[in-house]
Amino acid sequence: MSHTRRFAGKVVFITGGTSGLGADTAELFVQDGAKVFVVDLQERDILSRLGSDNAAFRKCDVSSPNDCASAIEECVKQYGRLDVLFHNAARLSPLANVVDHEVEMFQQIINTNLCGLFYLSRAAIPQMRTQGKGAIVATASTSGLAGDYGLCSYNAAKAGTVNLVRSMALDHALEGIRVNAVCPGYMITPMTEAFRMEKHVQDALLATIPMRRGADPKEIGRAVLFLASDEASFITGQTLTIDGGWMAKSGCPNFMELFGGQA
Ligand SMILES: NC(=O)c1ccc[n+]([C@@H]2O[C@H](COP(=O)([O-])OP(=O)(O)OC[C@H]3O[C@@H](n4cnc5c(N)ncnc54)[C@H](O)[C@@H]3O)[C@@H](O)[C@H]2O)c1
């Protein structure tokens, strides 16, 4: 249990909050004193984990502008304010190059992962303005910083998230609203379960990560709380990469290993 209570009296709206990173981060916010309003497409029992005194749940499809607007409205109605928007909901596409990618699927991925941030922010920012302050944090990805084989729609959506964050940070800086993103590398969540089903896939994946492991989602969640908190009061328009060293590498092989330690 955290003793800092950085979010006492604060209200946090979290998307994709019944699974993986969203659920773990919701728990960290509650431990730090916040009331959280969790939304997700899937209705899973998150309230028994968070405590119904500290949290509310509503089903919401973030690819729908109307759903996003009414969920933000319900949050403000229920808790009387909105201090932090954490847009984290996303889906992974089936692996396909652009020729084979279904058009409708491409649109759905962009709509959920990228447009969701736009729909939610346009609903949340007017409330933050009336409060004179607010923080928006988006979950982007290392997949928004470089390309992955077979993930064209996901790459495009996450890269769009990184730059939408920068753009909103500029537009709302004078209103006291900060906008930042986290870029996780490989995290151990239901989204990546398939990578752990087969040993050769898991081994190949871990071999590319300098720390040779995936992240516990709470290792990302703690950074989300930092960016959302007053400790980050001069940080806006940034993406914080949290990936066990993944993006620190060039494409070079490890010559030290190849030359037996004689690089
Ligand atoms: N797991 C990883 O390795 C990894 C790496 C980098 C970034 N990310 C990102 O982290 C975030 C959290 O993913 P996770 O790994 O916890 O996966 P997850 O699948 O456990 O959680 C994603 C949640 O988003 C919800 N969701 C999907 N579409 C939605 C919609 N249209 N409306 C509302 N909710 C919707 C799902 O129901 C689910 O609860 C995502 O943005 C993902 O892209 C994950």
Three-class SS string for 48-79?
HHHCCCCEEEEECCCCCHHHHHHHHHHHHHHH
Q: Which of 24, 59, 17, 19 is nearest to 38 (CA)?
A: 17
pLDDT tens figures, 74-87: 999 999 999 999 99
Which neighbouring-strand residues pair with 86?
14, 137
| Residue 77 and residue 6 in contact, taking contact as beta carbons nearer than 8 Å | no
- Is the pLDDT confidence value at 2 over 50? no
Taking the centre of ligand 1 as the mean of its atom positions, its distance from the CA of residue 172, in whole angstroms, is 26
Q: How far apart are CA 229 and CA 28, in angstroms?
A: 12
Mean pLDDT of 124-133: 98
For the chain, the farthest-separated pair of C-alpha atoms sits apart, in whole angstroms, at 65
Question: pLDDT confidence of 263, banded at 50, 70, 90?
Answer: low
Show the tokens assigned to 234. 């001069």
> What structural domains and CATH numbers belong to the chain?
11-187+215-245 (3.40.50.720)
Residues 6+ apart with CB under 8 A from 21: 88, 139, 184, 187, 189, 217, 220, 221
Taking the centre of ligand 1 as the mean of its atom positions, its distance from the CA of residue 174, in whole angstroms, is 31
pLDDT tens figures, 138-168: 999 999 999 999 999 999 999 999 999 999 9
18 Cα nearest atom in ligand 1? 39
189 Cα nearest atom in ligand 1? 15
Share of the chain above pLDDT 90, in %: 94
Q: How far apart are CA 69 and CA 123, in angstroms?
A: 5
pLDDT tens figures, 29-59: 999 999 999 999 999 999 999 999 999 999 9
| Residue 154 and residue 99 in contact, taking contact as beta carbons nearer than 8 Å | no
Of the residues 79, 119, 149, 154, which is catalytic? 154
Average pLDDT, the chain: 96
